[in-house]
Amino acid sequence: MSASRLVIIGGSDAGISAALRARELDPAVDVTVIVADAYPNFSICGLPYFLAGDVPDWRSLAHRGVEELRATGMELLLEHTARSIQLEAKTVAVADAAGGMTELAYDRLIVATGATPVLPPIEGLHLPGVHVLHTMQDAFSIQGMLEECGAESVLVVGAGYIGLEMVEAFASRELTVTVVEQLEEILPTVDPELGGLLRREIANHGVDVVTGARVESIQQKDRALVVRGTSGLERTVDLVLVVVGVKPDTELASGAGAKLGTKGAIEVDRRMRTSLPDVFAAGDCAETYHQILRSPTYLPLGTTAHKQGRIAGENAVGGARVFEGSLGTQVVKVFDLAAARTGFRDAEAEAAGFDPLTVGCRAFDHKAYYPNAHELDIRITGDRMTGRLLGVQILGHRDGEVAKRIDIPAVALSAKATVERLNMFDLSYTPPFGSPWDAIQVAAQEWTRKRDEALVGA
């Protein structure tokens, strides 16, 4: 049954993708998107580059402008907040910026409420000068501290993707930067061997890197902030940024009775249907299907949100599209290096029931005799007995095509290929860009040699 009235709660990646796909397939459908702020379809992933000054105009972060979106036929309710869902009446209670309430009727509903920042138990989180970074308004607040208040020093809590991007952004503005990570190495989504190389890179750019310490309190002293924590941590700075991760925003859906699943995300099937009748969910508020696990997991990524939103929008107007799943493919640029991963690391593969072997290798991104060749550190994880590829990590120079090279094993993982199968991929070659055996293939051959040696030794 196609929906004649489709209501979407949330105007970021998943919500707008859903609206566009629904209108594309059924131009007659009445699509209304409820947006809590005035910034629909903005690239949250681009905020660090706006704050660094790489993107001078924040308006450039919009994938599409408001008028362009409205020209597709969707209705945008900007600065409106969905308060509750009434399943029997099939309505959503919506508050406008002035506090006025209205009831919005739907035939099908898509919940795309995204995620909210995790706030660790730190005393003083709500002091002036302490910030998170998740919305356009967050970015404007930080920009104000930098430009109007003249902040000269900053401490970043959390050394994940956003944390490291913001470390670079602040350093590029010539602030004194400290980054604190409670785990033993930065960027804990890759192996410590690669995290250590990243640590050296950011330290070489003058950043004070503190690992194995947990921030416990922030106190105001005159116009400065004193940050204290375990392992003798104490720093006095002008600004504190807390970016330790996100959690799914499920209050609205769970309040209507939706089942929650992995890490408290909204439980969905592979057609993005929730446990509630005629209600779909997509994006950072929802689970995602993992292609290797073949079961639900939680991976709050923009790429996943776009795909899930498109599928939810299609199915809400009568489609039957199945979401093929995620692998957690990610990449981050940190100064002159880039780090990427896809699939499982060793411990993750073991927890999933595989018998993993992880082998590291160094190979040039293109022929070493051609100028500006850079070595890539590649770690391949595969199953010892079956040879199945389970995951890949890459770290290398930002000009070394790390981002596109990780896509090779990502495609191989989707095809359930073996590590050996990587060698048969027909990849392009010319000396300025690669080698007859691509760096990924060189690493695959090293994995096979190590696996064969181990089997003989056994």
Which two tokens mark 102? Answer: 């209205």
b/e sequence 185-216, b meaning 16+ C-beta within 10 Å: bbbeebbeebbbbbbebbeeeebebbbeebbe
Question: For 245-341, where are the alpha helices, taking DSSP H only?
Answer: 251-255, 302-316
Residues contacting 372, CB < 8 A, separation 6+: 399
Which two tokens mark 156? Answer: 């970043």
Which two tokens mark 112? Answer: 């795309």
| Contact indicator for 187, 195 with CB cutoff of 8 Å | yes
Distance separating alpha carbons of residues 339 and 337, to the nearest angstrom: 7
Residues contacting 217, CB < 8 A, separation 6+: 122, 123, 124, 227, 228, 229
Catalytic residue status for 285: no
| Contact indicator for 180, 215 with CB cutoff of 8 Å | yes
Sheet holding 224-229, edge to edge: 215-221, 224-229, 234-237
The residue from 45, 149, 285, 361 that is catalytic is 45
Q: What H or E segment, with its residue span, contains residue 17?
A: helix 13-25
Rg (CA), the chain: 24
Find, among 246, 378, 353, the residue nearest to 304 by Cα: 246
| Contact indicator for 363, 376 with CB cutoff of 8 Å | yes
Q: What H or E segment, with its residue span, contains residue 225?
A: strand 224-229
Residue in the structure block whose two tokens are 């790489």: 54
Catalytic site residues?
45
